[in-house]
Amino acid sequence: MRLKPIVLFGFVVMVAGCADVSKQAPAPTQAMAEASGKGLDRLQRGHSVYLLKCGECHEAMMPDDVSKDDWHVVVPGMAWNAGISEAEEEAVLDYILAAKSR
Ligand code: HEC
């Protein structure tokens, strides 16, 4: 079993990659709610749907990874993929746009 250390190393890198806190979608804040004009409740709902559903098939895309315009196009398609309701879809989009830093 001379290959074992290499396999183990790969595993550790994978796990460490998943635990990278900087890659977590930010939790909604009062400041985000005020800046976006959406209620904090709504952003929190969108955030939980996002955490629950949007990492099911691929690593969840961070709000900053995709442009505002593209999020408007992508979320409806992904909502269909995720089997979420229209209300949940709108909450997810509101959350993502509010969480974008640029
Ligand atoms: C049932 C599986 C599934 C679920 C659930 C899902 N996605 Fe996806 N997603 C995909 C697949 C497959 C692709 C790549 C092909 C494509 O673009 O359709 C993708 C691609 C993407 C992309 C890249 C699109 C592009 O054009 O570059 C983004 C952003 C994205 N998903 C966001 C989300 C969000 C946000 C959610 C939660 C609402 C979500 N996904 C839920 C399957 C899923």
pLDDT tens string 42-68: 999 999 999 999 999 999 999 999 999
Which pLDDT score, from 0 to 100, does residue 3 have? 58
What single-letter amino acid sits at 99? A
Q: Return the best residue to mutate from 53, 74, 96, 97 for the ligand 1 pocket (most ligand atoms within 8 A of CB).
A: 74
Nearby residues of 15 by Cβ (< 8 Å), 6 or more positions away: none
The answer, yes or no, to whether any atom of ligand 1 lies below 6 A from the CB of 58, is yes
Q: How far is the CA of 6 from the centre of ligand 1 (A)?
A: 32
Residue 97 and residue 79: Cα distance in Å, rounded? 15
Residue 72 and residue 30: Cα distance in Å, rounded? 23
Q: What is the mean pLDDT of residues 59-85?
A: 96
Residue nearest to atom 15 of ligand 1 (CA): 78
Q: What is the per-residue burial (b if ≥16 Cβ within 10 Å, else e) of 63-96?
A: beebeeeebeeebeebbeebebeeebbbbbbbbb
